[in-house]
């Protein structure tokens, strides 16, 4: 899932009609989901959070910035929060399936369009910044809206996009790309916020002021405190007391969870708490958290227990929630707290059916679900068995030399399993879209053209979905070859079933490609898919024949 978060801040926090008008632009953009709207009266500012695929998010951001420029008049704006324009800041945040480089590209494309179409000066910040001094938002905001006319005259502060001309009504906008910020609190068995803050000083990047033997702060030649850095980069932390919970917390902002993830900060907080005679009782996620942050935690704690981290996503998240104590002060519902789950398509999904229900669906007199979905499910079974054998090998002393390799195999096989399960539903959806295209009206020449375009798109998709399955089955054989050669010898029969299920998946998807390809009109598409599909199925069948021999040899050794 390609998913980008966008968190624009608008200079309006009091007029509900204006706030709703801006949010409607976001909600009405196809593919985008509005997650949160947080207005502040004293700041006269609203922070909006929405997510979706990159292009959809970029479009929604532009529409919102445009609407804000129409209805917010900065000449009349007053508020407690620093600001530079009607849309003060608009960051793109990679969530899943998207790189920071892609978000930087989105920021540049949006900034160019805002400058060109709306006549608003735009500065790029954070990862999108073109100059070091513009990386920090505070530097760009210096002087705020009121200082903008003079700032735009300064050659050093020419905007990255848009005119270097003061726009009285809209001001300027800062657009950029940054990592996801996780608001994360660690709970202590004390009400003393001073003790919580003592731990925070040791954890946070800024650290604490260095003191002499008399307890006085040591300062440098410029009079600034000399700091002792904390243990984690990209961590901001303070200690406070929360009356509603009846405990002190270490309140943390993780500004780059990929470098300083919650589970490592949590583990270090436990050590620091013990030094003070305290216990960490759990932790809390405020707002949303990317799924990967919890998957990282789940893998970490499983490995700490001497177990393989190559388990289903649901198990990793369960382990993370229990290990981090995320239910300590408030319920943690993964469906509500994990950002990817908030934007998942609504079901029903075929892969959520029971085995009997799925078999029953296949047996009915309807074309979907059919052989394509069944082939994809064979692939999911093959990947699951591959992970199983790897997990049954990991942690056993006699196979210690292969533990790291088995861990890798189990984790990759889990990813393949999830991809095959996605294709179970996607194959059915693709065929249904072909049927929908065939049912489009064709009474007029214009209707015929629309129908032809829709049908061609649907037929290409119905061909490409099983092609994805064929590639997956081909890649899976590499993992199966490893478990046959190095896996737990007591599980060779499971490896054999995985091998044959992978072959069924490959052949089944190949047959579906062959039946759908004649309906495609694009000759270049047909040629490329056909050539690559034939190459892959040849390699698969050749590899399976080789692995069957290897399997029989290993079983023979095992019998002896």
Q: What is the per-residue pLDDT across 477-517, written as a single tens digit (0 to 9) for each?
A: 999 999 999 999 999 999 999 999 999 999 999 999 999 99
Spatial CA neighbour of 417 closest among 341, 344, 498, 298: 498
Greater confidence (278 vs 39) lies with 278
- Among 119-128, 224-233, 292-301, the minimum mean pLDDT is found in 224-233
Do residue 187 and residue 172 come from a single domain? no
Are 117 and 104 in a shared domain?
A: yes
pLDDT bin (cut points 50, 70, 90) of residue 220 is confident
Of 88, 160, 425, 427, the active-site residue reads 427
| Distance of alpha carbon 360 from alpha carbon 354, whole angstroms | 10
Picking from 177, 195, 230, the residue at the C-terminal end of a domain is: 177
Same-domain status, 172 and 116: yes
- Burial bucket for residue 277 (CB in 10 Å: 0-12, 13-18, 19+): exposed
Task: Give the mean pLDDT of the chain.
Answer: 94
- Is there a single domain that holds both residue 292 and residue 171? no
Q: Which of 81, 192, 197, 418 is catalytic?
A: 81
* Residue ending a domain, choose from 128, 147, 177: 177
Calculate the alpha carbon distances from 315 to 267, 298, 325 in Å.
20, 8, 15
CA distance 54 to 156: 31
The yes-or-no verdict on residue 275 having pLDDT over 60 is yes
Instruction: Check whether 1 has a pLDDT greater than 70.
Output: yes
pLDDT at 560 over 60: no
The pLDDT, as a whole number, for residue 38 is 86
| Mean pLDDT, residues 522-542 | 97
Quick: pLDDT tens for 283-305.
999 888 999 999 999 999 999 99
Domain count, the chain: 3
Residues 425 and 530 in one domain: yes
Tell whether 133 and 230 lie within a shared domain.
no
Task: Give 559's pLDDT tier (boundaries 50, 70, 90).
Answer: low
Note the pLDDT tens digit of each residue in 328-348.
Answer: 998 999 998 999 888 876 666
Residues 50 and 150 placed together within one structural domain of the fold: yes
| Residues 338 and 443 occupy one common structural domain | no
For residue 346, the model assigns a pLDDT of: 63
Mean pLDDT of 191-217: 92
**Within this chain, do residues 46 and 116 fall inside the same structural domain, yes or no?**
yes
Domain CATH for 202 = 3.30.70.670
Q: Are residues 103 and 202 in the same domain?
A: no
Spatial contact of 16 and 65, defined as CB atoms under 8 Å apart: no
> Residue 106 has what pLDDT?
98
Of all residues in the chain, the percent with pLDDT exceeding 70 is 99
| Predicted confidence (pLDDT) per residue in 258-270, tens digit | 999 999 999 999 9
Q: The tokens of 523 are what?
A: 């000759």
112: domain CATH number?
Answer: 3.30.990.10
For residue 458, what pLDDT band results from cuts at 50, 70 and 90?
A: very high
Q: What's the CATH number where 401 sits?
A: 1.20.120.680
Please report the pLDDT score of residue 347 as a whole number. Answer: 64
**316, 342, 368 - which closes a domain:** 342
Please give the Cα distance from 59 to 360 (Å, whole number). 43
The per-residue DSSP string of 290-306 comes to -HHHHHHHHHHHHHHTT
- For residue 20, the enclosing domain spans 3-177
Cβ–Cβ under 8 Å, residues 310 and 409: yes
- Among 10-24, 26-40, 274-288, 334-348, which stretch is predicted with the lowest mean pLDDT? 334-348
- Separation of alpha carbons 311 and 318, rounded Å: 11
Domain match, 157 and 31 both: yes
Residue 552 falls in the annotated catalytic set: no
Q: What is the pLDDT of residue 164?
A: 95
What confidence tens digit (pLDDT) does each residue in 365-394 have?
Answer: 988 899 999 999 999 999 999 999 999 999
Task: For residues 222 and 135, state if they share a domain.
Answer: no
Measured CA to CA, the distance from residue 389 to residue 400 in angstroms comes to 14
Specify the pLDDT at position 358: 92
Residue 429 clears pLDDT 60, i.e. is over it: yes
Q: For a pLDDT cut of 90, what percent of the chain falls above it?
A: 87
Higher pLDDT among residues 138 and 560, named by residue:
138
Average pLDDT over residues 545-549: 96
């Amino acid at each position: 899932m390609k998913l980008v978060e966008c968190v624009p801040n608008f200079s309006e926090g009091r007029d509900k009609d204006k706030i709703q008008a801006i949010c409607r632009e976001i909600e009405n953009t196809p593919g985008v989901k509005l997650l949160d709207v947080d207005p502040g009266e004293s700041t006269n500012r609203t922070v909006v959070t929405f997510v979706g695929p990159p292009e959809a998010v970029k479009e929604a951001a532009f529409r919102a910035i445009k609407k804000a420029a129409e209805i917010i008049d900065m000449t009349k704006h007053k508020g407690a929060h620093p600001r530079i324009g009607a849309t003060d800041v608009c960051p793109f945040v990679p969530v899943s399936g998207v790189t920071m480089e892609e978000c930087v590209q989105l920021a540049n494309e949006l900034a160019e369009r805002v400058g060109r179409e709306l006549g608003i000066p735009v500065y790029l910040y954070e990862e999108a910044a073109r100059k070091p001094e513009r990386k920090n938002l505070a530097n760009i905001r210096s002087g705020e809206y009121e200082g903008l006319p003079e700032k735009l005259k300064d050659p050093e502060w020419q905007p990255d996009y848009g005119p270097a001309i003061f726009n009285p009504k809209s001001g300027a906008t800062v657009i950029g790309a940054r990592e996801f910020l996780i608001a994360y609190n660690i709970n202590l068995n004390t009400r003393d916020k001073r003790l919580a803050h003592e731990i925070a000083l040791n954890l946070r990047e800024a650290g604490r002021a260095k003191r002499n033997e008399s307890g006085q702060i040591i300062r440098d030649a410029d009079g600034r405190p000399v700091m002792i850095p904390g243990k984690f980069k990209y961590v901001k932390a303070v200690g406070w007391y929360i009356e509603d919970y009846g405990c002190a917390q270490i309140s943390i902002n993780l500004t780059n969870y990929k470098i300083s993830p919650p589970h490592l900060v949590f583990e270090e907080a436990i050590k620091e708490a013990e030094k003070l005679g305290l216990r960490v009782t759990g932790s809390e996620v405020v707002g949303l958290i990317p799924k990967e942050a919890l998957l990282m935690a789940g893998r970490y704690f499983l490995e700490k227990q001497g177990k393989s981290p190559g388990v289903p996503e649901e198990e990793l998240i369960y382990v993370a929630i229990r290990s981090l104590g995320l239910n300590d002060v408030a319920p943690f519902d993964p469906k509500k707290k994990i950002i990817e789950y908030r934007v998942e398509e609504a079901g029903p999904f075929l892969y959520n059916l029971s085995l009997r229900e799925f078999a029953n669906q296949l047996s009915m007199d309807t074309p979907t679900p059919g052989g394509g979905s069944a082939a994809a499910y064979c692939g999911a079974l093959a990947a699951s068995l591959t992970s199983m054998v790897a997990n049954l090998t990991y942690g056993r002393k006699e196979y210690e030399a292969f533990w790291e390799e088995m861990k890798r195999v189990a984790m990759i096989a889990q990813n393949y399993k999830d991809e095959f399960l996605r294709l179970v539903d996607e194959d059915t959806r693709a065929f249904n879209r072909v049927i929908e295209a065939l049912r489009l009206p064709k009474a007029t020449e214009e209707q015929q053209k629309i129908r032809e375009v829709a049908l061609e798109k649907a037929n290409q998709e119905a061909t490409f979905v099983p092609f994805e399955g064929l590639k997956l089955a081909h890649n899976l054989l590499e993992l199966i070859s490893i478990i046959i050669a190095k896996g737990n010898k007591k599980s060779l029969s499971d490896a054999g079933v995985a091998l044959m299920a992978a072959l069924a998946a490959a052949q089944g998807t190949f047959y579906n490609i062959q039946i759908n390809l004649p309906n495609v009109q694009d000759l270049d598409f047909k040629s490329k898919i056909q050539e690559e599909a034939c190459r892959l199925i040849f390699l698969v069948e050749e590899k399976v024949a080789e692995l069957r021999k290897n399997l029989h040899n290993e079983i023979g050794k095992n019998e002896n």
